[in-house]
Amino acid sequence: MRYPILNIWTDAVSMAEALQKVSDFVDHGDRPHTIFATNPEKNFSVPADPFLYNCFKNADLLLPDGIGMVLGAKILHGAQISRVPGCEFMQETCALSARQGYKIFIYGAKEEVNKKAVEILEERLPGLQVAGRCNGYWPEDQMDMLVDKINESKAVILFLALGSPKQEKWFARHQDKLKHIRVCQGIGGTLDVITGTVKRAPEIFCKLGLEWFYRLLAEPRRIKRQMVLPVFAWQIFMTKIGFRK
């Protein structure tokens, strides 16, 4: 079920249910299906861009990535859902792909990060078929060549590590040319986490829903981005008591 949370949405799915959707999309789909992550920050950035807003509105699966979306769903709709972090979901999808024989393609991040991430995933997951990869600095005027490369790989799952909103817009512009892709997930900085370039929050922070706070402590410059969090919380409260529609 899809819940509206202020200006965007999130789907009520567990990790297992989201992975089942991946299998269904690959095994029975006849087109690329999109998987994007939702969080409080995107509640403000997505509606500000009509093209991006449409990308999210038409997504096949919107993961409740941020704890704010989970709490928003509970407060506004009484929904009991749990976080499905995009970073973890990407790696679980790779594990699923190794078991099921799905070929994957990874596009994005710096060359050294992309290459190292693929090596780590292949080492962790015997049987994983990385049919192709490309860093995120492919020339814009040669994008058709990249699409051809993805098609020639016959990968059925595409991970876009371009950051938001670039990854969502890339998919929207090129989806009709992807011949074999059945699942496309925007994974942002996940490759940096896999390679250790960016440290993930300790488990205790993740369990308490305070991963955002840990990242703020580790990267104080994120304060400008995270200043929207109290605004998001206030708008949730005002919506709940009926002062905001």
Q: Answer yes or no: do 75 and 182 share one domain.
A: yes
Average pLDDT, the chain: 91
Same domain for 165 and 219? no
Are 150 and 228 contained in the same domain? no
8-41 pLDDT tens trace: 999 999 999 999 999 999 999 999 999 999 999 9
Q: What residues does 80 pair with on adjacent strands?
A: none
Domain residues for the domain of 231 are 203-241
14 with 30, same domain: the answer is yes
Give yes or no: residues 161 and 79 share one domain.
yes
The residue from 163, 179, 195 where one domain ends is: 195
pLDDT tens figures, 153-163: 999 999 999 99
Q: pLDDT tens digits, residue range 56-99?
A: 999 999 999 988 999 999 999 999 999 999 999 999 999 999 99
CB half-sphere exposure, 149, CA atoms < 13 A: 16
- Shared-domain flag, residues 232 and 122: no
DSSP-based three-state secondary structure for 79: coil
Looking at residue 245, what is its pLDDT?
62
Token pair 């890339």 is at which residue?
170
Considering the domain architecture, whether residues 75 and 158 belong to the same structural domain is answered as yes
Same domain, 106 and 216: no
Q: Are residues 224 and 146 in the same domain?
A: no
Asked if residue 143 and residue 72 are part of one domain, the reply reads yes
Query: 3-state SS of the chain: helix, strand, coil percent to 5?
Result: 55, 15, 30
**What pLDDT does 224 receive?**
62
Instruction: Residue 57: give its domain's CATH number.
Output: 3.40.50
In angstroms, the CA 228 to CA 213 distance is 13
3-state secondary structure of 136: coil
Residues 181, 208 within the same domain: no
Nearest to 85 by CA among 100, 70, 107: 70
190 plus 208 within the same structural domain: no
Total domains in the fold of the chain: 2
Pairing of strands 2-5, 157-161: unpaired
The C-alpha atoms of residue 162 and residue 165 are separated, in whole angstroms, by: 8
